[in-house]
Amino acid sequence: MTKKDFIPSSYIVHKTEGKVTYRSPSNIALVKYWGKKENQIPANPSISFTLDSCATTTTLSYRKLKVRGTDFSFDLLFEGKPKPDFKPKIKTFFERTEPYLPFLKDYHFTIETSNTFPHSSGIASSASGMSALALCLMELERELANDMDPSHFANKASFLARLGSGSASRSTEGPIMQWGQHKDTPESSDLFAIKYPYQVHEVFHNFQDTILLVDQGTKQVSSTLGHNLMHNHPYAEQRFDQAHKNLTNLQLVFKEGNLSEFIKIVESEALTLHAMMMTSMPYFILMKPNTLAIINKIWAFREASKTHVCFTLDAGANVHLLYPENEKEKIKQFIKNELVAYCENGQYICDQIGTGAKKL
């Protein structure tokens, strides 16, 4: 497929106004996307668990303009209030997606959005937010076209979400999403994410993700800046190569349910992401003392309890604890006894792998 496949030929239905709502979850990458080429094309393939509770709900109301606008016309409400600082990101999203959604300047839009997780928690809302908005726009396009093949709908929703934020391409569906061309996954594409197409052992069903909120106030390195740090990075090529290999190795891990190998890949990916930031110019350390304390606690507990809890990190200080559902009680106790003390205001969020966005 090429991006031309996402340019619609013509619409047959006339819609003057309407409203659509989607709830889209966030996702947590196992093999990380870090580094991109022009037009939001990833420098390496990535794979993620779609989450369930951490989500954005977006309602898109649309009203046809009497005369097609010269610019995009939209209002943005976040948690019921106007949020001007979110508007530039949406405008950029409209600019990037207009070639594929030629109706954008024909309507005035009101975008009402809210998150289930606290805004300042350090959980990025771009993946869930851009995915929810892309799905709302696809719903409008489906109405204008009268009908649409479900696989085209799914691919194009992910394609549009990607143009908003790369990781958003992996939030439109679930439970495991893969984005970026990978030789051992012939269906994979740089343009959109696909549902992981191979066998997944039942130990990964209902996998748990508890997000420990270590440092909620700290500003993360913006992902635009972060991805750019991979240009001319001394270890970039080796890193991209490693991501390909880790994805290949994960295929067997998923098939066999090999949790020890899963842990090695996932923790190494998290530390590599941070190593890339520490070795770029300029350099950053996004982990906090409590992030490291938690990692050491996890290692000690895993060794002593023979459980399969592991960690992963985003571009920030929060720690995602991943573990199989059948170890939930033991791990919850461990979190309460040993990890809550390292969370800011004792806060953490219990989530698990989910099936993807839903129309409400």
Q: Where are the beta strands (DSSP E) in the chain?
A: 17-31, 36-37, 41-42, 46-64, 73-78, 81-82, 107-115, 176-179, 193-195, 208-212, 310-313, 319-323, 348-352, 358-359
Residue recorded with tokens 């966030």: 26
Of 220 and 307, the one with the shorter C-beta distance to ligand PMV is 220
In the complex, minimum distance from the CB of residue 52 to ligand PMV, in angstroms, rounded to a whole number: 17
In the complex, minimum distance from the CB of residue 39 to ligand PMV, in angstroms, rounded to a whole number: 13
Burial of 289 (0-12, 13-18, 19+ CB in 10 A): exposed
In the complex, minimum distance from the CB of residue 46 to ligand PMV, in angstroms, rounded to a whole number: 4
Of 140 and 236, the one with the shorter C-beta distance to ligand PMV is 236
Of 227 and 297, the one with the shorter C-beta distance to ligand PMV is 227
In the complex, minimum distance from the CB of residue 74 to ligand PMV, in angstroms, rounded to a whole number: 22
158, two tokens:
């992910």
Of 37 and 336, the one with the shorter C-beta distance to ligand PMV is 37
Order of all β-strands in the sheet with 208-212 = 310-313, 319-323, 208-212, 348-352
In the complex, minimum distance from the CB of residue 282 to ligand PMV, in angstroms, rounded to a whole number: 17
* Whole-number Å distance between alpha carbons of 237 and 276: 11
Of 269 and 327, the one with the shorter C-beta distance to ligand PMV is 269
Of 58 and 272, the one with the shorter C-beta distance to ligand PMV is 272
In the complex, minimum distance from the CB of residue 36 to ligand PMV, in angstroms, rounded to a whole number: 7
Q: Is-contact 111 60, C-beta < 8 A?
A: yes
* Whole-number Å distance between alpha carbons of 320 and 298: 11
Of 29 and 76, the one with the shorter C-beta distance to ligand PMV is 29
98: CB partners within 8 A, 6+ apart = 104, 105
* Whole-number Å distance between alpha carbons of 202 and 160: 31
179: CB partners within 8 A, 6+ apart = 33, 42, 45, 46, 47, 158, 162, 166, 169, 170, 188, 189, 190, 192, 193, 194
3-class SS at 49? strand
In the complex, minimum distance from the CB of residue 84 to ligand PMV, in angstroms, rounded to a whole number: 21
In the complex, minimum distance from the CB of residue 292 to ligand PMV, in angstroms, rounded to a whole number: 18
- Contact residues for ligand PMV, defined by CB under 6 A: 29, 32-34, 46, 124, 126, 165-167, 223, 273, 314-315
* Whole-number Å distance between alpha carbons of 156 and 147: 14
Of 33 and 240, the one with the shorter C-beta distance to ligand PMV is 33
